Amino acid sequence: MSNLNQEIAPSAQALRRYPPVVFVLTAGIAVIGANSLALSPISAEVAASFAVAVPAVMAATAAYGLGTAFAAVFLARSIDRLGSKRVLSWALAVLAFAFGASAAAPNAPALVAAQVVAGLGAGVALPAIYALAAEVAPPGRESETLGIVLTGWTLSLVAGVSLSAVVADLAHWRLVYALLVGAALLGLLALLASPYRDAGGGGEAAPSPLRALALPGVARLLLVCAGYMIAFYGVYGYLGAHLHDRLGLPTSANGAVPLAYGIGFGAAALLDRVIDRVGPARAMPFTYLGIAAVYAALALGSGGYLTIVAVALVWGLLNHFGLNLLILRLTAIDPARRGTILGLNSAVTYLCVFLGTFGFGPLYSLYGFAALAWLAAALCLFAAVLTLPGLLERPAFPKRR
């Protein structure tokens, strides 16, 4: 019992020693994620208020993704020159402005334009948040710290999908974006009040994304990101259609799957200390192999609703570890180019939203949901192979003699 107490006490004490800015970063992730998820459940009401079809409104989501990818490639490298905290402060101000413009949009094109601006802010904010999390993490607690920040995605899943629909139903859809304005401004004020000062930001010229791509390990990790994210968005994007069209379940049945996934994703934060003990390099192949097994289980159990819900819980748990490990390895490659590298990761992620959604569509129409899950399993198996010890340390593009 004494050994157990000795094991638990330092962890609780370490949790209290986390800089308050860590929880500000968690809230920042939640705000960004909520905006990306909020429009889908309220799209019909927004379309009705503008007297347009739903696709005209959902074009704002596509515009948001394009803006995010653009900023992640071409603007996120400013993090390395100016510092994570300073750039994140500007990005939160841009997001607050964009959310306000979304709330006041008089028509669908104005909403699309506002979401492009929101994408520009998010494309810089996400890598800045991850970079700042790596900078403030207590030594030996890097994975645990990042795990706390990543729980913001769980909060966004609840707030973005559930609360937005409730707020729009009880009040008006514009209030959803007004609340996001308030959340972004609160995050900005809390960040500015934080005593943390940027460690970097020496004013040097920002590194080129192509030069960062040539660093050992970056290209392979981005390929891991691509396989992992295409698999997720390809399967998750058609899971609701499978439950409704193939299993004949009502639309309300879709809610249990993201809820189970979110619970698993958030609960994994309690186990992130295991990664710090085992080491990211050794944990990575097993994690992606486990995610591949999850997709195989979804393929085999695609005919049972309760099986899918149960697997979704494990899916969220392992996906938390997969994202945590990916960010940890990327931030450790070159701290001086951390913002640029993480910007490339965000760009790949949002490109995979497009590739997964549109690329898996024809396969779903022809062969059904199980085929999507098997393809996702193959992609994650490929990602697991890429993370085998020794491979990430080798240059992806060896020089010719």
In whole angstroms, what is the distance from residue 205 CA to residue 30 CA? 31
In tens, the pLDDT along 72-102 reads 989 988 898 889 999 999 999 999 999 999 9
In whole angstroms, what is the distance from residue 319 CA to residue 272 CA? 12
Top pLDDT among 80 and 371 is at: 371
pLDDT of residue 136: 87
In whole angstroms, what is the distance from residue 248 CA to residue 355 CA? 27
Cα angle value 211/121/27 (rounded, 5°): 110
Quick one: tokens of 212?
């960062």
In whole angstroms, what is the distance from residue 305 CA to residue 310 CA? 9
Q: Is 147 exposed, middle or buried (0-12, 13-18, 19+ CB in 10 A)?
A: buried
What's the rounded mean pLDDT across residues 50-60? 86
Query: Is 392's pLDDT higher than 90?
Result: no
pLDDT of residue 335: 85
3-state secondary structure 352-368: HHHHHHHHHHHHHHHHC
In tens, the pLDDT along 282-321 reads 999 999 999 999 999 999 999 999 999 999 999 999 999 9
- Amino acid type, 190: A
In tens, the pLDDT along 207-216 reads 677 788 888 8
Top pLDDT among 338 and 118 is at: 118
CB 369 within 8 A of CB 302: yes
Query: Is 332's pLDDT higher than 60?
Result: yes
Predicted TM-score of the model (pTM) = 0.82
Domains and CATH numbers, the chain: 13-206 (1.20.1250.20), 208-392 (1.20.1250.20)
CB 11 within 8 A of CB 273: yes
Helix orientation angle between 218-241 and 280-300, rounded to the nearest 10 degrees: 20
SS3 70: helix
In whole angstroms, what is the distance from residue 165 CA to residue 175 CA? 11
What's the rounded mean pLDDT across residues 257-282? 87
pLDDT band at 204 (very low <50, low <70, confident <90, very high): low
In tens, the pLDDT along 90-149 reads 999 999 999 999 999 999 999 999 999 999 999 999 999 999 998 888 888 888 888 889
Average pLDDT, the chain: 86
SS3 66: helix
pLDDT of residue 394: 55
